[in-house]
Amino acid sequence: MEKIIIEQSKELNGEVVISGSKNSSLPILAATILYSGTYKLSNVPDISDVRTMLKLIESLGGKYSFKNNEVVVDSSEISHYEAPYELVKTMRASVVVWGSLLGRFGKAKISFPGGCAIGDRPVDQHIKGFESIGYSTKISNGYLETKKITSIGGEHFFDLKSVTGCENVILASTLGDKKTILKNCPEEPEVVDLINFLNFCGGKIVKKSDTIEIMPSSSLKAPNKAYKIISDRIEAGTFGVLGCLPGNKIKLKNINSDDLQVPLKIIKKMGTRVDIAKSSITIEGGGEIKPFNIKTESFPGFPTDLQAQFMVAALLANGESKIIEEIFPSRFIHVAELRKLGANIKLKNNTAIVNGVASLNGARMQASDLRASACLILAGIIAKNKSEINRVYHLDRGYEKIDNKLMNLGVKIWREKE
Ligand code: EPZ
């Protein structure tokens, strides 16, 4: 196991090229299972969650190559329809192969994805969505067993906006027998990217605000050219927080600023100078950090995946900030670690009240999940002296070459054996 050592680093200045989106790559890789063929993807981040998904595709009978952020998947020999416990337990997002396996085989056996550090992660919305379009699910021996029981297609209204829940039902209905209409759908850019990929391969899917209409296709065929995965808005927002700190000036490249409207509004509220272009943003810290309020919501609201990272900016703000977590109410595991640095944070239910302090002191911290790890890295950068973060494998699940990207900005960061 490795640990990351960070020394307080100021006057950070430079550019960072944002990688492709993890949460777009995973459902699109799953979509290559849906119909036999060879699929080329570009701008795929080289992170462990992508490699886990590729191993899952291989375990089902698929073949792949992955180099220089380009993936080629050959799904022609996929013959299994079970996502095993060993893989699902390492990555909950494996659940997104469920819809593709149903679409291809009319049945699927998925190890029940457990909860994780950010809270309970139920799958009732996936099951209800499948039911509305002609599938039935039973749970046996810790597995979800779903099969087709009538013609595939129909109408479904989601009780709540579940990103992978909606992605799964889109995948399960793309090759259906009749039209599917999904309502109260999430509008995250990653859901849109999946729809665009399926249409790139011959799908007939139309999104109109939170309604998605899927006309059945009899087959899919990937064009010979690669499909480019969208930029990772959460990685962009994570580095964006660094730019808010007084004395820092960070240029984010290879991004889509439309995907970051609300986080950028908060960054401006902090008193930060922001220059926005279509595919790049320059963020320059002001003389201080003004306090701010955040409430996490489905897109286009403030993303829950940036909540922990933005909390770091509040730690040194001139006043009281309020952070309300509406998506995963217990997503505050990072608070206990930040308190070790001297942070002043009070928790009440799903609300964190942060009062800025004059300075923080480095400490040993423990990472618990992907976004909390990124939060602790940011905290280590602003805290005095040295900080140490254990269990950094969480970080490598979703941030490509993050050490190099930070070093290039002037951060004093390195890894050691734990
Ligand atoms: C996706 O997870 C993302 N993961 C998460 O990012 C992200 O935090 C989340 O969406 C919310 O934006 C991927 O896309 C791979 P949800 P997902 O279903 O789909 C409840 C990261 O760090 N719910 O949208 O699993 C659920 O408990 C990860 O990159 C049900 O009640 O999240 C939560 O409160 C972390 N029943 C809310 O809905 C269900 O069947 C949103 O969950 C499904 C979800």
For ligand 1, pick from 163, 184, 350, 368 the residue to mutate: most ligand atoms within 8 Å of CB.
Answer: 163
Same domain, 205 and 253: no
Give the model's pLDDT for residue 139: 95
Give the model's pLDDT for residue 111: 94
Count of structural domains, the chain:
2
* Closest ligand 1 atom, residue 298 Cα: 12
Q: Which residue has the tokens 């100078």?
A: 273
Same domain, 128 and 179: yes
Same domain, 193 and 250: no
Q: How far is the CA of 162 from the centre of ligand 1 (A)?
A: 6
Residue 212 bridge partners (DSSP): 182, 207
Q: How far is the CA of 268 from the centre of ligand 1 (A)?
A: 27
Q: How far is the CA of 163 from the centre of ligand 1 (A)?
A: 6
Same domain, 71 and 190: yes
* Closest ligand 1 atom, residue 96 Cα: 15
* Closest ligand 1 atom, residue 118 Cα: 35
Distances (CA, A) of 102 to 79, 137, 171, 205, 235: 12, 11, 8, 18, 32
Same domain, 238 and 333: yes
Same domain, 273 and 305: yes
Same domain, 251 and 223: no
- Domain final position from 202, 228, 254: 228
User: Rounded to whole angstroms, how far apart are CA atoms 365 and 163?
Assistant: 30
Q: How far is the CA of 159 from the centre of ligand 1 (A)?
A: 14
Same domain, 154 and 236: no
Same domain, 365 and 392: yes
The two tokens of residue 190 are: 């990653």
Same domain, 277 and 224: no
SS3 readout for the chain: CEEEEEECCCCCEEEEECCECHHHHHHHHHHCCCCCCEEEEECCCCCHHHHHHHHHHHHCCCEEEEECCEEEEECCCCCCCEECHHHHHHCHHHHHHHHHHHHHHCEEEEECCCCECCECCCCHHHHHHHHHCCEEEEEECCEEEEEECCCCCEEEECCCCCHHHHHHHHHHHCCCCCCEEEECCCCCHHHHHHHHHHHHCCCEEEEECCEEEEECCCCCCCCCCCEECCECHHHHHHHHHHHCCCCCEEEEECCCHHHHHHHHHHHHHCCCEEEECCCEEEEECCCCCCCCEEEECCCCCECHHHHHHHHHHHHCCCCEEEEECCCCCCCCHHHHHHHCCCCEEEEECCEEEEECCCCCECCEEECCCHHHHHHHHHHHHHCECEEEEECCHHHHCCCCCHHHHHHHHCCEEEEEEC
Give the model's pLDDT for residue 113: 87
Which residue owns the Cα nearest ligand 1 atom 28? Answer: 305
10-residue mean pLDDT series, the chain (418 residues): 95 98 98 98 98 96 98 97 89 95 98 84 96 97 96 98 98 98 98 98 98 96 96 98 97 97 98 94 96 98 98 98 96 97 98 98 96 97 98 94 98 95
Which residues have C-beta atoms less than 6 Å from ligand 1? 22-23, 26, 93, 120-126, 160, 162-165, 190, 304-305, 327-328, 370-371, 398
For ligand 1, pick from 160, 230, 299 the residue to mutate: most ligand atoms within 8 Å of CB.
Answer: 160
Same domain, 37 and 137: yes
Residues with active-site annotation? 116
Domain ranges, residue 297: 2-19+231-417
User: Rounded to whole angstroms, how far apart are CA atoms 338 and 340?
Assistant: 5
- Domain final position from 228, 262, 279: 228
Same domain, 135 and 224: yes
Give the model's pLDDT for residue 117: 82
User: Rounded to whole angstroms, how far apart are CA atoms 40 and 201?
Assistant: 11
Q: In terms of pTM, does the model score above 0.85?
A: yes
Give the model's pLDDT for residue 255: 97
- Domain final position from 193, 228, 263: 228
CATH number of the domain to which 390 belongs: 3.65.10.10
User: Rounded to whole angstroms, how far apart are CA atoms 390 and 367?
Assistant: 6
